[in-house]
Chains A and B, each alone.
Chain A
Amino acid sequence: MSAFSAVLKRDLRLARRAGAGASLGLMFFLVLIAIVPFAIGADQKLISRLAPALLWIAALLATLLGLDRLFQADEEDGALDQFLLSGGSLTMLVLAKALAHWLVTGLPLSLAAPVLGLMLAIEPQAMLPLSLSLLVGTPALTLIGLVGAALTVSLNRGGLLLSLLVVPTAIPTLIFGVAVAKAAAEGRDFAMPLTVLCGTTLFALAISPIAAALALRQARG
């Protein structure tokens, strides 16, 4: 457990130190949302209808941001070698990295979403459900990205390949995440899509760390 917390603590510290943690993802999110009305035009009804989807797409892209460096930096400076010598399971250490990544991207995005939703004229009753759907769904995005990051660890500029790998796999999460916010905006019951969203996250939680650890071991074989 101490190895888990050591990795978590270091990654959070690095995110803060580099200034590229919470603020970068959030700024990206903000910029994306801010340019939408300029692109679509001042049709408030249309924007309002698109808002849940736009926020979710922005969250997905913000999660992808910097994901390619998640393991690459550790590989380059030799820290990954030390991970393998910890005596604990690599899966847990990989999970610690995922948790750190989510704490500096997914969590702030989820909390900021209602505020940014205002800029997109989102229905008031959809704000909290939207936040909830992001809170439940963004861990899945991070976890799926984790596998992509592990698979592309030895590639220079693997960012594009990473996106190609991650985005299709993240689509179920996207569909049900948007479904939650849409149902709430239209005043319908959103328990069903929320349950399925929880399911995709739990599935990713069960599979991804193991898959990522395996990919990292293979990459050095």
Chain B
Amino acid sequence: MPHINIAGLPGGFLTTFSSLRLVASGLAVRRGPRFLFRGLDMSLASGQVMQLTGPNGSGKSTLIRLLAGFSPPDAGTVRLEGAGEEYPGAFLHYFGHREGLRPALTARENLAFLAGLLGGDEARIPDALGKLGVARLLDLPVRVLSEGQRRRVALARLLVVDRPIWLLDEPLASLDVEAIATVSGLVAEHAKAGGMALVATHQPLAATNATLDLSGRREAAA
């Protein structure tokens, strides 16, 4: 699998992927004697911001991890249309409860690592942190940051590394009102530029233009 440096593409990288579609069909996840969901169909296309809702334990995080390719579903398929033979993981951002930051490293070092790993641009780190309102935390070890500050630093990787598909699991947790508006704005901007996002959150998200509700999908296995 080749390393794909999407960020290296000339201007407007997202328009290159305007034909991209994340399509899932017939997804089922079984947990013990019951299915979290079964026969779940969904598709996410360029320009869409889909809000994923459902009560705790309804399988939102499971669905997102499944779409990211971290674990296989018990039934059904996930396809990335328009990506050719390339590895789907190289097209998406996964942002979950565990942010992937090391406490001993500074915000800059953490993001530089992610930029190197995911094929992003290190030079954008100060700007990205600025957009999230944490520019002055650049050279502080993540260990000393508050929960909300840490989440903001972690979210900056969405801007440092260009990926067309954003899979965000509770990105607004621990954020203050101002940061929630910022993140909502970033998601909207991303969608407007041709990207797409699936956001699991219980809070209203201004950018939402589609919804997927997982409540009431639980059923007993035969």
Q: Which residues of A lie under 8 Å from residue B4 when comparing CB positions?
A: 87
Describe B's contact surface by its main secondary structure: loop
Q: Does B102 contact A82, Cβ atoms closer than 8 Å? A: no
Q: Does B100 contact A9, Cβ atoms closer than 8 Å? A: no
Whether a CB of chain B sits under 8 angstroms from the CB of A188 is no
Size band of the A side of the interface? Answer: 20 to 34
Q: Does B117 contact A17, Cβ atoms closer than 8 Å? A: no
Given known A2-B3, A10-B113, contact A86–B98 (CB-CB < 8 A): no
Whether a CB of chain A sits under 8 angstroms from the CB of B47 is no
Q: Does B96 contact A81, Cβ atoms closer than 8 Å? A: yes
A221 to B90, CA, bound (A): 19
Given known A10-B105, A17-B104, A87-B89, contact A82–B1 (CB-CB < 8 A): no
Q: Which of A73, A86, A93 is most buried by chain B, counting CB atoms within 10 A of its CB?
A: A86
Whether a CB of chain B sits under 8 angstroms from the CB of A43 is no
Whether a CB of chain A sits under 8 angstroms from the CB of B52 is no
Number of B residues whose C-beta is below 8 Å from A?
35
Smallest CB gap from A81: residue in B: B94
Whether a CB of chain B sits under 8 angstroms from the CB of A35 is no
Query: Which B residues form the contact surface with A (CB < 8 A)?
Result: 1-5, 68-72, 86-87, 89-90, 92-94, 96-102, 104-105, 109, 112-119
Which A residues from 68 to 127 make CB contacts under 8 A with B?
A: 73, 76-79, 81-89, 93
Q: Does A81 contact B71, Cβ atoms closer than 8 Å? A: no
Query: Which A residues form the contact surface with B (CB < 8 A)?
Result: 1-3, 5-7, 9-10, 13-14, 17-18, 73, 76-79, 81-89, 93, 220-221
Q: Which residues of A lie under 8 Å from residue B71 when comparing CB positions?
A: 220-221
